[in-house]
Amino acid sequence: MTGPSAEPSAPFVHTLPLTLTGRGEPLYASLALAAAPLDWLDANSEKFLHPDEAALVTDRLHARRRHGLLVGRYAAKRALAMLHPAIDPRALAIRPGVLEQPVLSGAGVRNLGVSLSHAGPVAVAVVFPEGCPMGIDLERVRADAVPLLLSQSPEAERRLAACLDGPEPERLMRLWCLKEALSKTLRCGLTVPLELLAVGSVEPHPTGLWAGFANFAQYRGLSLVAGDLAAALVLPQTVTLAPADWAAWQAALAEAAREWRE
Ligand SMILES: CC(C)(COP(=O)(O)OP(=O)(O)OC[C@H]1O[C@@H](n2cnc3c(N)ncnc32)[C@H](O)[C@@H]1OP(=O)(O)O)[C@@H](O)C(=O)NCCC(=O)NCCS
């Protein structure tokens, strides 16, 4: 695990290994939270991008999109390095699939999936066995998003949000992130009626909330918020997640929220 760097222009990275049990077998996944300025990513992209990924990052892209592409792949490569420290990140490619979903390939990695999300200079990524599908999301909590979030939430979900702790923008964004993370797990994105992705139940977790989904009982999601960053990780309901240092993860999220703004 690494903490923040002393150099302000250097990247911030925090990683968390996850051990799960599914069908009696141990399953290994890893999470990474990363933040970096665009100029650092541009200057260092040759050290972590596969040539096919570098081809995606053309000068024609808007700086915001370029930043998202780069910091998302940087976070994903840091998560991959936890599972496969000996593999050169430049040998691994995350290409868009036909649904725009990230598809990982490269010698030495078999049956691994990746999900990622970026919010300005900050990104999160999870690398997981394909047999245990996961999805991740990260958003800034914004008061001005409340009307949109309310309009996109079914009545039952609005009632659920009203019962949560915290300010309204945070409560609604928690549920939104959970839905986006589910949509990535399912590979549909937000192209389906949003009621299908609705959160149906919540229960406390030491540093956040566990959520169940109204229409997808196969999955559950963990919601964590720190500062104005909300993150959600969705994984199958049928796997057991071993204890992990979520408090340190949340502290890193708080630091990223504080220090890494657009
Ligand atoms: C997937 C989606 C929910 C992402 O939401 P977002 O808030 O814009 O962005 P995030 O930063 O949270 O996530 C972006 C990442 O999601 C991933 N992603 C995109 N589509 C995905 C899908 N169908 N399934 C899983 N993951 C997907 C990508 O890795 C993307 O990052 P990248 O393009 O840098 O590789 C949203 O883009 C969506 O609904 N897409 C649906 C597909 C679509 O409409 N595509 C447009 C093509 S016409």
> Residue 16: which of 39, 40, 4, 33 has the closest Cα?
33
Q: Is 84 exposed, middle or buried (0-12, 13-18, 19+ CB in 10 A)?
A: middle
Residue 5 has pLDDT above 60, yes or no: no
Rounded distance between C-alpha atoms, residue 70 and residue 46, angstroms = 11
Residue 113: strand, helix, or coil: strand
Residues 127 and 194 in one domain: no
Stretch 183-202: mean pLDDT: 97
Q: Mean of the per-residue pLDDT values for the chain?
A: 95
Out of 2-6, 27-31, 236-240, 242-246, pick the least confident. Answer: 2-6
pLDDT of residue 9: 75
Pair (127, 256) in one structural domain: yes
Whether pLDDT at 7 is above 80: no
Per-residue pLDDT at 36 exceeds 80: yes
Q: What is the mean pLDDT of residues 133-153?
A: 97
Residues with Cβ within 8 Å of 77's Cβ and at least 6 positions away in sequence, in order, are 48, 89, 92
Q: Report whether 113 contacts 79 (CB < 8 A).
A: no
| pLDDT value of residue 13 | 98
For residues 233-257, average pLDDT? 97
Kind and range of the H or E run holding 20:
strand 12-22
What is the rounded average pLDDT of the residues 165-188? Answer: 97
Q: According to the model, what pLDDT value does residue 1 have? A: 42
Q: What is the predicted pLDDT for the residue at 6?
A: 45
Q: What are phi and psi of 164, to 5 degrees?
A: -80, 165
Report the distance separating Cα 184 and Cα 133, nearest Å.
9
- Of residues 232, 203, 239, 201, the one with CA closest to residue 218: 239
Q: Which atom of ligand 1 is nearest to the CA of 69?
A: 34
The Å distance, Cα 119 to ligand 1 centre, comes to 12
Asked if 63 and 115 sit in the same domain, the reply is yes
Do 111 and 162 have their domain in common?
A: no
User: What is the model's pLDDT at position 255?
Assistant: 97
Cα of 149 from ligand 1 centre, angstroms:
18
Ligand 1 atom 35: residue of nearest CA: 102
Same domain, 35 and 12: yes
The tokens 């933040």 sit on which residue? Answer: 35
pLDDT in tens, 196-235: 999 999 999 989 999 999 999 999 999 999 999 999 999 9
Nearest-atom number in ligand 1 for the CA of 96 is 35
Handedness of CA 22, 190, 63, 147 (dihedral sign): negative
Q: Are residues 143 and 93 in the same domain?
A: no
Quick one: 11 and 115 in the same domain? Answer: yes
pLDDT on residue 262: 82
H helix or E strand, kind and range, residue 223: strand 219-226
Model confidence at 25, in pLDDT bands (50, 70, 90)? very high
Q: Measure the CA angle with vertex 220, ends 215 and 222; round to 5°.
A: 135
**Residue 8: per-residue pLDDT:** 45
Q: What is the pLDDT of residue 247?
A: 96
Are 190 and 153 contained in the same domain?
yes
Same domain, 212 and 154: yes
Q: Check whether residue 225 and residue 250 sit in a common domain.
A: no
Average pLDDT over residues 66-71: 97
The residues pairing with 16 across neighbouring beta strands, listed in sequence order, are: 31
Distances, alpha carbon 34 to alpha carbons 13, 112, 145, 183, 198, in Å = 4, 20, 24, 22, 28
Distance from the alpha carbon of residue 33 to the mean position of ligand 1, in angstroms: 18
Residues 81-138: pLDDT tens digits?
999 999 999 999 999 999 999 999 999 899 999 999 999 999 999 999 999 999 999 9
CA of 73 to the centre of ligand 1 (A): 13
Tell me how many domains the chain contains.
2
Q: What are phi and psi of 252, to 5 degrees?
A: -65, -40
**10 plus 112 within the same structural domain:** yes
- Judge if 255 and 219 occupy the same domain: no
CATH number of the domain encompassing residue 84:
3.90.470.20
Domain residues for the domain of 158 are: 138-235
* pLDDT above 70 as % of the chain: 97
